[in-house]
Amino acid sequence: MSSIRLYFQLLIFLLAFSMKAQTTDTLKLESKKSVSLESYRQVFWDDLPKPYNWTNDYENLFSDIEEKELNQIISNFEKETTVEIAIVTIDTFKVSKEKFEDLSLHIARTWGVGKKDKSNGVLIAISDGYRQIRIQNGDGITLLISDEETTNIIKNQVIPYFKKEEYFEGTQACLLEIIKLLKVRLK
């Protein structure tokens, strides 16, 4: 009886030791993942890709046709007014939720959205993964569109569509409302 007892105690000890080793290995792996994700995010921040058009969809929310349509609307408006509007979607691998707003401002500045002498750029940054949207207005635009109006555009034009996962429709409604306000105020 005592040899069976000793056998079971030894078995329990080995299982406990094995579980401890697995837990330690899992923690080390999770730590490495966290470090590598943070490193990846830092590399993205430090070496932002150049914009390839007015719409830069890193989260693949839009079809090619939808991107083309958004780009055409922005291009036509830019030719008419010199106001530059850029749209960027950012997946959760490129930024933490807490730094989404900082990254959108960093993108607007790094890409130079808007004419330098007029500071007349608007960046619409979207993260479906974090369910966030941010509209960054250049200094020249803040004289024309208030923060309250920007908030209302998000609340009234974007969110109803995004809740239904209609990202193109919400983004287009946002874009058209910004253009409508700017056309009236630029006259």
Q: Are residues 95 and 163 in the same domain?
A: yes
The per-residue pLDDT for 68 is 98
Q: What domain range includes position 142?
A: 55-185
Q: Are residues 127 and 69 in the same domain?
A: yes
Q: Are residues 28 and 77 in the same domain?
A: no
Q: Are residues 116 and 170 in the same domain?
A: yes
> Which regions of the chain does DSSP assign to beta strands (E)?
55-57, 84-89, 121-127, 132-137
180 band by pLDDT with thresholds 50, 70 and 90: very high
For residue 125, which phi and psi values (nearest 5 degrees)?
-110, 130
The per-residue pLDDT for 23 is 47
Q: Are residues 12 and 72 in the same domain?
A: no
Q: How many residues does the chain have?
A: 187
- Over residues 131-147, the pLDDT tens digits come to 999 999 999 999 999 99
Q: Are residues 61 and 34 in the same domain?
A: no
Q: Are residues 110 and 148 in the same domain?
A: yes
Model-level pTM?
0.80
Q: Are residues 26 and 97 in the same domain?
A: no
Average pLDDT over residues 64-83: 97
Task: Please state the domain count of the chain.
Answer: 2
The per-residue pLDDT for 20 is 47
Core vs surface per residue 105-115: b (16+ CB within 10 A) or e: ebbbeebebbe
Residue 78 has which token pair? 């830019």
Q: Order of strands, edge to edge, in the sheet holding 55-57? A: 55-57, 84-89, 121-127, 132-137
Residue 34 clears pLDDT 80, i.e. is over it: no
Residue 86's nearest CA partner among 70, 63, 64, 66 is 70
Q: Which residues contact 96 (CB under 8 A, 6 or more apart)?
A: 41
User: What is the CATH classification number for the domain harbouring 111?
Assistant: 3.10.310.50
